[in-house]
Amino acid sequence: MLPYRTMLFDFDYTLGDSSRGIVMSVNAALTALNYPVPEPKDIRQTIGLSLNETFVRLTGCFDQGQAARFTQLFRAKADAVMVGQTDMYPGVREMLEKLQSHQIRTGIVTTKYHYRIDQILARVGAAELINAIVGAEDVNRPKPDPQGILLAMQRLESTPETTLYVGDSVVDAQAARQAGIAFAAVLTGTTPAEAFQPYHPRALLRGSSEILTMIESL
């Protein structure tokens, strides 16, 4: 029997790449607020953070009113461009199909909006391959707080011992640790392998498509 019965995934840089849409949306929001436009590489380093944290990281401004306005402007632009600017990584759909065939429940826990994930999955024809989604609007404490992971586990009726969280960032690793579940790191994001060492991941993977091979080898 496979060691995990529930597999939870981050989305950005884990299952797919929406960095083009994120860069476009950040630039639109900051331009409207009269902030300098950051380098794309600096924006990509914030992917996976909450929008409030992204605003602070990119501007150095801690004003909550400005952060709230940034979020509104980002969301408006993202509604127009994000779904069309997002691609699933090669092999991810096949990996999810195999997990379903093994009767492993799947979920997404992300700082992206829930409805956005619904739209992306519908566009790529993968909605039926995910059993639960927890997005930004479903929680009041973003990762690394474990609230989102714990909510997904509740919805999937899973236990810590049989649940694995897969992500591309230290924030993901911290969230899994706080939730008391195992973590596997994928190297498709901007985080180097050595940054995950303090969290003792079950595996370091070149991409999420390697998940099935990893769990069958345990």
Give the Cα separation of 164 and 202 in Å (integer).
9
Give the Cα separation of 209 and 132 in Å (integer).
19
Which tens digits make up the pLDDT trace of 150-186? 999 999 999 999 999 999 999 999 999 999 999 999 9
Which tens digits make up the pLDDT trace of 59-111? 999 999 999 999 999 999 999 999 999 999 999 999 999 999 999 999 999 99
pLDDT computed for residue 1 by the predictor: 53
Q: 3-class SS at 25?
A: helix
CA 214 to chain CA centroid, Å, is: 20
- Above pLDDT 90, what percent of the chain? 94
- By residue count, the chain amounts to 218
Which tens digits make up the pLDDT trace of 9-65? 999 999 999 999 999 999 999 999 999 999 999 999 999 899 999 999 999 999 999
Beta-carbon-side half-sphere exposure of residue 195 (alpha carbons within 13 Å):
15
User: Which tokens sit at 188?
Assistant: 């498709």
Rounded to two decimals, the pTM is: 0.93
